[in-house]
Amino acid sequence: MRVIAIDGPAGAGKSTVAAALARRLGVARLDTGAMYRAVAFAALREGIDPGDGVRLGALARALDLEVGERVTVDGVDATAAIRGPEVTAVVSAVSVHPEVRAELVRRQRVWAEAHDGGVVEGRDIGSVVFPNAEVKVFLTAAEAERARRRVVQDDLDGDHAAVASDLARRDRIDSTRPASPLAVAQGALVMDTTGRSVDDVVEEVMEVLARL
């Protein structure tokens, strides 16, 4: 099983790079952030407190979740809603709970077995979920550039300062939580994507793969 792990903070270019890389390699791709967002979406729907790890863990275990081109949660298409401001506001708080993480990590490993590996993006993929991944990439980018990309990607109104402060808030929670915080995995290739094109970044990863 061949897993390529792509980790990094919000807006570093993970989704775009992961999708392009999966296409080039002809393998599947999993956006694990979409899974945490789906749990946050369901928690809002059920009125569960983002601080209640026990209930959120039970919710994560019970969810009928499909994460692919579209994201469905208990049969409801949540593709657009999981990118909306309500979910974005609570997703980091939902993601701190070990009960939630244990279930989503289990599902991520099942997914990889079923697809015989693939490109998997998130925050803890190279460090925790697939520590034996064939290649680990940690993408970063300057904060202003990350905010600009989020505005474009999520079609937000153009308030870059507000988006930047929200990214910084999420990064702080994601990096300082005790359970699998965002961190550079051992052996990861750290790439700053500021000012670089997607093709350029993908090419560098392809070169690393070719040398294996």
Q: Judging by beta carbons within 10 Å of its beta carbon (0-12, 13-18, 19+), is residue 173 exposed, middle or buried? A: middle
Site for ligand DC in 43-102 (CB under 6 A): 91-92, 95
Contact code string over 3-32 relative to ligand DC, x by CB under 6 A: -------x---------------------x
Strands 71-73 and 29-31: unpaired
Nearer to ligand DC, 123 or 136 (CB): 123
Q: At what angle do helices 85-95 and 32-46 cross, to 10 degrees?
A: 100
Residue 106 structure tokens: 């289990």
Nearer to ligand DC, 23 or 169 (CB): 169
Find the part of the chain contacting ligand DC (CB under 6 A) among 56-64, 121-129, 154-162, 186-194.
121-129
Please tell me whether residue 166 binds ligand DC under the rule CB under 6 A.
Answer: no
The C-alpha atoms of residue 3 and residue 119 are separated, in whole angstroms, by 6
Residue from 29, 37, 136, 149 binding ligand DC (CB under 6 A) = 37
Handedness of CA 15, 17, 18, 24 (dihedral sign): positive
**Nearest-approach distance from CB 173 to ligand DC, in angstroms:** 7
Size of the site for ligand DC (CB under 6 A): 14
Please tell me whether residue 33 binds ligand DC under the rule CB under 6 A.
Answer: yes
Residue from 124, 139, 185, 191 binding ligand DC (CB under 6 A) = 124
Question: What's the number of CA atoms in the CB half-sphere (13 Å) around residue 39?
Answer: 31
Determine how many CB atoms are found less than 10 A away from the CB of residue 41: 25
Residue 121 structure tokens: 């993006």
Please tell me whether residue 103 binds ligand DC under the rule CB under 6 A.
Answer: no
Return residues touching ligand DC (CB under 6 A): 10, 32-33, 36-37, 91-92, 95, 122-125, 170, 174
